[in-house]
Chains A and B, each alone.
Chain A
């Protein structure tokens, strides 16, 4: 008998009587009129910067400013064709000096400031982690109240990889002193796009 069979057999022999799991509706966690405000408040409290834009077109200007400021910027939102393919192929060594990555988030969660993004958004799984400064862009209409609503709206296996990000990387492993910028980005800036024109 191999280990798989042995483990499964031991479980069958030892498990308790089946308890059914009934459907459940989570208690409402947040007033829906304050979604964007709560989302922003949470992000700021988790050490992120928040900017508002009135349309996605305004984003290009912001990207240009970042490009002027930093030598190595990857904008996954506006990348098409050949550059897009190139981004997908970059490995850790070639991304080591990446200053800024700009990525569109699918969905934001007001209760914890988390933003869901998947491989389709990031093009390369390393980007949101290896860059020094991460810029996420989120449509105000895609902000939901809590994690229950979030998981209703996303399909976690739609892409090979997806992640909720709620701030810059951080640690408090030395004497519980909070240090922003552990292994991932040192800063997170979130652009919230509202008022569609």
Chain B
């Protein structure tokens, strides 16, 4: 699979400047809505701290909570499956669908199924998955992955959606009205909901104490799919567990406020027992999570509740778009999850950050995202996953910076060269010259100035 490096892909994204600016500003607006929602709540920071503590506690006792969840879910009438990796997850889901004898089904948003490439796998088995979240349906028509975990089609403008719907749903050409387009999707997906015998959903939270799962949506698509179908398949990573029903209050207060600035999602659905003559399957998936749990520096990335706040605030994400990250989960959190699964393929992602720390500041469960990005960089260099150019550059910088005399000498000549032959740095071979003017070189170094002026 030919993966394009983040920096190269981002270069293509920003070639369209008005669109890049729109993307940047729109996500920043979502970030501001998040700030406003947080400021309205008394005790926001205490809530984040509590959420963080609950998740830390769960990770330190995860095996016991999973066993408790399984026992209670089975008592509730659910059927539990365990999958060590994406392949097994896909096989299990396929087995259930095959047994039901269907070739078409509906699925609401699940980043886990994206991570496992379930749609692609099922399509190879002759089964068509209809994504029912509006944003996901749009990108599915376009044969693209979602570019954001909460706002899957945020990279698109309404003209793009209009064209896509004209092609697939025969809407009027050139009608870009979001109301009109959403109405067309509603009609199209209603038919899918009513016909589907099987509905797949993700899981936001799994409650060990009661053996139930909670799914949050604004559109109501998870519920439409599940209640109309005969079989509900819910796919969850092992880290979705929380201990008690009461803990939901902490997470539901944080989730939508962090994601979009809403006080809560329109629907927070609690599934415990399947309806009469129906089935509830829950697939519990590892796919690298236990390995991440074993990395002390990175294990708390598993606390993530997939709100997307770190995407919306990230200056690099906002100006490079989700597809540049070539991973199901993009953005800062994706960049610390992805190298765990495939270090070589995702070695570029921890470098797609300015390490400004904004991601860690907005994270509702207090993951030290920017610290982890920095720590991944060190591991990736040590393990030899970083391009030789970058490595040599870093080594020569280290050599230079640890030798004051040589540093001063190099600085002096650098300034002279920039003054007399600016073309040597202001040319296209120098990546720092791209999209920016080089600063005017100062006449003297701070060191020289200090020596002259100290009294």
Contact = CB atoms under 8 A, between A and B. Distances in A.
Interface of A: 2-4, 6-8, 10-21, 24, 26-30, 42, 46, 91-93, 96, 109, 111-114, 125-126, 128-130, 146-148, 150-152, 155-157, 159-177, 179, 181-185
Interface residues of B, number: 93
A13 B189 CA distance: 45
Interface string B174-196: 00001101110010011001100
Contact of B63 (A15, A109, A147): A15
B375 to A, nearest CB: 16
B57 interface: yes
Contacts of A10: 286, 290-291, 293-294
B420 to A, nearest CB: 50
B194 A93 contact: yes
Given A146-B249, A171-B182, A175-B178, A15 B269 contact: no
Contacts of B189: 183
Nearest to A21: B57
A165 B212 CA distance: 18
A21 B347 CA distance: 36
Given A156-B245, A182-B218, A147 B252 contact: yes
A156 B238 contact: no
B290 A27 contact: no
B220 A7 contact: no
Contact of B178 (A46, A114, A177): A177
B13 to A, nearest CB: 17
B455 to A, nearest CB: 54
B219 interface: yes
A96 B47 contact: no
Interface of A is mostly: loop
Interface of B: 26, 29-30, 41-43, 46-47, 50, 53-54, 56-57, 59-63, 66-67, 76, 82-84, 88, 132-135, 138, 151-154, 156-158, 161, 178-179, 181-183, 186, 189-190, 193-194, 207, 210-212, 218-221, 223-224, 226-228, 238, 243, 245-246, 248-250, 252-253, 260, 262-275, 284, 286, 290-291, 293-294, 296, 299
B82 A4 contact: yes
A159 B272 CA distance: 8
A26 B53 contact: no
Nearest to A94: B194
A114 B275 contact: no
B219 A170 contact: yes
A63 B427 CA distance: 75
B218 A169 contact: yes
B201 to A, nearest CB: 13
17 contacts: A11-B238, A16-B296, A26-B47, A26-B50, A92-B228, A96-B190, A111-B253, A113-B263, A129-B223, A147-B249, A147-B253, A156-B212, A160-B271, A160-B275, A173-B151, A182-B186, A183-B190
Nearest to B132: A183
Contact of A21 (B46, B54, B133): B54
A112 B43 contact: no
Contact of A176 (B42, B151, B248): B151
A174 B219 contact: no
Contact of A7 (B41, B238, B260): B238
B423 to A, nearest CB: 43
Given A129-B220, A165-B266, 18 more contacts: A10-B290, A17-B60, A24-B53, A26-B249, A30-B42, A126-B228, A130-B227, A157-B272, A160-B271, A161-B275, A163-B267, A171-B134, A171-B135, A173-B134, A174-B153, A174-B182, A182-B219, A185-B220
A175 B158 CA distance: 6
Given A147-B253, A156-B248, A96 B263 contact: no
Given A11-B293, A27-B42, A183 B219 contact: yes
Nearest to A147: B249
Nearest to B221: A183
A62 B154 CA distance: 42
Contacts of A181: 182-183, 186
Nearest to B275: A125
A37 B248 CA distance: 25
Nearest to B229: A92
Contact of B249 (A14, A150, A165): A150
A20 B54 CA distance: 9
B227 A129 contact: yes
B283 to A, nearest CB: 10
A66 B252 CA distance: 34
A159 to B, nearest CB: 7
Contact of B66 (A2, A11, A162): A11
B226 to A, nearest CB: 8
Contacts of A96: 190, 194
B220 A112 contact: no
Contacts of B269: 161-163
Contacts of A93: 194
